[in-house]
């Protein structure tokens, strides 16, 4: 099996594992409630942060796709978001995960979601880096030395002179990102069921 085929197979397995993880986490959150009371200003501020983080994730992932869409694994992209971190799609996904967690009104859940997402993508980046080093050699190794793997270094930012955008991939990324917004009505409904006594609360987190 070629390295690219092996990478594609690994990414497919990774999507399945992440989907299962998301289902398990959301099922568990049916029985978890924020310890910050819903009429407290802090509760509203946490939820507002969640909404802002989700919006940033949707726009950020779309921005990344303008640069990398359809080219991942076939060339080294170093402009825009890829000039400050090698994995900006994963960075914005972690921000979106924190936003989803914040929609529960719990700071602990928001931080936990961000950390879990970071750890899940860390193993993915290691596999991808091994493939890209094999595929591109020294140019990619130089990119690894100059640009951080995950946490952005904004002083490195530089723009690409020319972008070749693939509209279908861009639209798909944007519409996929809109799924993040489903967290708001979902957790509002869960909170209603919990307060009405239809769902038991086994754990309260700040």
pTM for this model (two decimals): 0.84
pLDDT, one tens digit per residue, over 156-172 is 999 877 777 777 877 88
Which residues face 34 on adjacent strands? Answer: 205
Integer angstrom CA distances of residue 102 from 40, 43, 74, 189, 193: 15, 9, 36, 15, 18
Residue 202 has pLDDT above 90, yes or no: no
pLDDT, one tens digit per residue, over 35-62 is 786 667 888 899 899 999 999 999 999 9
Residue 16 has pLDDT above 80, yes or no: no
pLDDT top residue among 12 and 82: 82
**Domain positions in the chain:** 36-184
Instruction: Name the band, by pLDDT with cuts 50, 70 and 90, for residue 73.
Output: low
What is the rounded distance in angstroms from the CA atom of residue 76 to the CA atom of residue 87? 12
pLDDT, one tens digit per residue, over 78-136 is 889 999 999 998 999 999 999 999 988 899 999 999 998 898 888 888 888 888 888 88
The answer to whether 57 and 99 have CB atoms below 8 angstroms apart is yes
């Amino acid at each position: 099996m070629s390295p690219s085929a092996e990478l594609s197979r690994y990414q497919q397995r990774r999507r399945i594992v992440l989907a299962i993880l998301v289902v398990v986490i959301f099922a568990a959150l049916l029985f978890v409630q924020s310890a910050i009371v819903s009429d407290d200003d802090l509760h509203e501020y946490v939820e507002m942060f969640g909404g802002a983080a989700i919006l940033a994730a949707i726009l950020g992932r779309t921005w990344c796709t303008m640069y990398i869409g359809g080219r991942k694994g076939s060339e080294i992209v170093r402009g825009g978001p890829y000039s400050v971190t090698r994995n900006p799609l994963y960075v914005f996904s972690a921000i979106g995960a924190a936003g989803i967690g914040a929609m529960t009104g719990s700071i602990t859940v928001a931080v936990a979601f961000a950390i879990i997402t970071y750890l899940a993508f860390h193993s993915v980046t290691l596999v991808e880096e091994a493939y890209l080093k094999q595929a591109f050699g020294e140019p990619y190794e130089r990119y690894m030395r100059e640009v951080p793997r995950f946490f952005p270094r904004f002083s490195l930012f530089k723009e690409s002179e020319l972008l070749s955008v693939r509209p279908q991939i861009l639209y798909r990324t944007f519409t996929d990102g809109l799924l993040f917004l489903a967290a708001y009505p979902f957790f509002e409904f869960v909170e209603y069921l919990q307060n009405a006594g239809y769902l038991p609360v086994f754990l309260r987190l700040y």
